[in-house]
Structure 1
Amino acid sequence: MSTVDPQRRVLSGMRPSGRLHLGHYHGVLKNWVKLQHEYECFFCIVDWHALTTDYDDVGNIAQHVSDMAVDWLAAGVSPSSANMFIQSQVPEHAELHLLLSMICPLSWLERVPSYKEQQDQLHHKDLGTYGFLGYPLLQAADILLYRAGLVPVGSDQLPHIEFAREVARRFNHLYGREPGFEAKAEAAILRLGKKTAKLYNSLRKAFQEQGDTEALDTARALLKEVQSITLGDKERLFGYLEGGGKVLLPEPHALLSEAPKMAGLDGGKMATSHFKGGNSNAIFLRDTPAEVEDKLRRMPTDPARVHRDDPGEPSRCPVWQLHEVYSDEPTLHWVQQGCRSAGIGCIDCKGPLIEAVQAELKPLQLRALDYQDSPEVVRNILAEGAERARDEARETLIDVRAALGLNYR
């Protein structure tokens, strides 16, 4: 039986689709660096997910994976504090995906919002494939394989977490109802001791009869502290709280991140893609100081400021969005006042921003150089991370196979 505490374990991943930029850094990586010191973290380069949309252009995947690993390390993700690995080096992801596909209704996949959205956005690609339709289930398998209770996401990813919860709930409902489950659960309650058993029963009743979610959380915390029962009995009692069976695959919860919006160089969302003219929409983490300066100087500003002495409005200017991330209060005040009064020009406005971005990227780029010059070190980090990940994944699949009757020993 698993000894994992799902609420102490985090799983997150990223598609290797190109070099990482400031949007990745502020939206994901800075949060990961913090989480790795607070939770047991598994950070996965999901190369199979890249194939769901780019199956016809695989020539750069290996380089993208290598670049991503270097960028993660340079940003401060530490192999001594977190498990970094490549999805395809842990084949258990594919096995759990296959097994879960047997119980996942087709309609669940078709109703995931991103299914239609991405088909519309990527209309030039043929996405009428099983792999693309099934990628939310692969994502669910990525999470459930490690019994991760927490998944750091933005609000746009909440439907995917809810989908993973539904899959886990269905699996537990189908296979957690072992013969004589209720009798075994009631016997386990007696082994809690008189005082703890009474408290457990009252909390269970409060949740099941009144929907008291605080009582459910209290009961779960109570069970985590109990040392007098076996792990098997503990899993039964976790499931019995909600009226179900044994919790074989814990339901994950979203860990919402409050990342700042990172404007792209065209005023839209910063992305790896390109905008009109073939220029990049992003400032990449390993752009040189000269490249950073050139990109920001060419960045469009408030369209109302046609001439130097035209007053502007910062809220209409994409450069202002970057100032909100990088600038201190005095600088923000200077920008607002100077822009609205036409006291400063757009080139003046961009000066302190250029310096701030260059200063933030400098230490990261120095660390990146060390890893770029030592590719074997990066490969070893990923290989060791994959071995640790496989150890955890194998434990989950032992229970999953047994639940499905695939235990032939």
Structure 2
Amino acid sequence: MTAKNNRIVSGMRPTGPLHLGHYFGVLVNWVKIQEEHECYFFVADWHALTSEYADPRRIKGFVPELVKDWIAAGLDPEKCTIFHQSQVKEHAELHLLLSMMTPLGWLERNPTYKEIRQELIQKDLNTYGFLGYPVLMATDILMYKPGAVPVGHDQLPHLELTREIARRFNHLNGDFFPEPAAMLTEDSKLPGLDGRKMSKSYLNCIYLGEAMEDVRPKIMSMLTDKNRMRKSDPGDPEICNLFPYHKILTDAGKCEEIEAGCRDASWGCVDCKKLLVESMTEFLEPMQERRRKLEENPDLVWQILDEGSKKARAQAQENMEEIRDLLGFKY
């Protein structure tokens, strides 16, 4: 990223509460970069329609809950712009314009198209909107002409498609959009409670806003090293589903003690789980306290979104004026 273009754009779909995988895979990075960059973070409610179109009224309720999780995790509206995608109508206009020039083959070769359809087999995703959602994603990014976009390795194909769309627009209409670079972020190192990827659809998550009385039994029932049938059996922390949580949440010195105790069987799995409950409580309680303050003043969340959307829309309107002029649609 050049010193001239310090802008970052990223968003999330409001489809339910956020879990630890979201925090360590996305939010912890957002909190860091807001200190050094001009950041635009948006609630992608139009994107949520790709899978929730059959019952779209649910989305509205998810919007403020998502923002509460963001702010509880450490996003600061004084340091970044938090806005509401559907309240910046220029996104719809630019999406239409970019969709007219995006080759169909680019969308059909999208490697995650089939993957998501297979993962969400309970939903009918044979829609134009689902096939074309990478164009809407490109719109959300290019609208603000950022220098970079924070992405995981699995999202690189989407960003490359955004760059291709930018190049095609510039080739046809003259240079306007920068090609945003990838700001690579590490994937979350936390597995789900059952050892699979942490996912709401697998029901194997610990949520950021979840009360500790609900979190504790989840931890106590987590899978551990399946070779430890008895407490006296030595274990291997590297294949235990619990140990990745300790490596992230528990003091490093204590982790060494846990690892040694597992290998020589001086620590039982129940002991290990009880310690994780303590570490999880220490991690989640400050976040949940910030969330409770927002819940005491629900209008504040909508105020944050309204102010952020006004700021984002002012930038979007300015850019759309230039785009219409380039396309000859400035009447």
Both structures adopt the same fold (TM-score exceeding 0.5): yes
C-alpha deviation, 1:259, in angstroms = 4.5
Q: Percent identity?
A: 50
SS in 2 for 1:108: helix
Structure 1 segments, 4+ long, off by >4 Å, are none
1:300 maps to: 223
1:184 maps to: none
Q: For 1:261, give the aligned amino acid.
A: K
Matches within 5 A, 1:325-404: 325-404=248-327
2:60 maps to: 62
C-alpha deviation, 1:329, in angstroms = 2.6
Note if contact 2:22-2:188 (Cα within 8 Å) is conserved in structure 1.
no
Q: What's the CA shift string for 1:3-41, capped at 9, x where partnerless?
A: x97730000000111111111111111111111111110
Is it true that 1:314 corresponds to 2:237 in the alignment? yes
Match of 1:266 among 194, 200, 214: 194
SS in 1 for 2:40: strand
C-alpha deviation, 1:272, in angstroms = 2.0
1:216 maps to: none
SS in 1 for 2:82: strand
C-alpha deviation, 1:255, in angstroms = 0.4
Is it true that 1:253 corresponds to 2:253 in the alignment? no
- How many residues align? The count is 330
Matches within 5 A, 1:203-242: none
Indicate how the Cα distance of structure 1 residues 287 and 123 shifts in structure 2: closer, same or farther if over 3 A, else same.
closer
Matches within 5 A, 1:7-406: 7-176=5-174, 247-274=175-202, 280-406=203-329
**Larger Cα Rg: Structure 1 or Structure 2?**
1
CA–CA separation in structure 1 for the residues paired with 2:105 and 2:234: 54
C-alpha deviation, 1:328, in angstroms = 2.6
CA–CA separation in structure 1 for the residues paired with 2:301 and 2:324: 33
TM-score norm. by structure 2 comes to 0.96
Note if contact 1:11-1:148 (Cα within 8 Å) is conserved in structure 2.
yes
Q: For 2:142, give the aligned amino acid.
A: L
CA–CA separation in structure 1 for the residues paired with 2:168 and 2:11: 24
Where do 5+ consecutive residues of structure 2 fail to align? none
CA–CA separation in structure 1 for the residues paired with 2:248 and 2:84: 31
SS in 1 for 2:68: helix
Q: For 1:321, give the aligned amino acid.
A: P
Q: For 1:109, give the aligned amino acid.
A: L
Q: For 1:255, give the aligned amino acid.
A: M
Note if contact 1:71-1:285 (Cα within 8 Å) is conserved in structure 2.
yes
Q: For 1:21, give the aligned amino acid.
A: H
Q: For 1:391, give the aligned amino acid.
A: A
1:183 maps to: none
Q: For 2:254, give the aligned amino acid.
A: T
Indicate how the Cα distance of structure 1 residues 146 and 5 shifts in structure 2: closer, same or farther if over 3 A, else same.
farther
TM-score norm. by structure 1 comes to 0.78
CA–CA separation in structure 2 for the residues paired with 1:273 and 1:116: 17
Note if contact 2:83-2:306 (Cα within 8 Å) is conserved in structure 1.
yes
SS in 1 for 2:320: helix
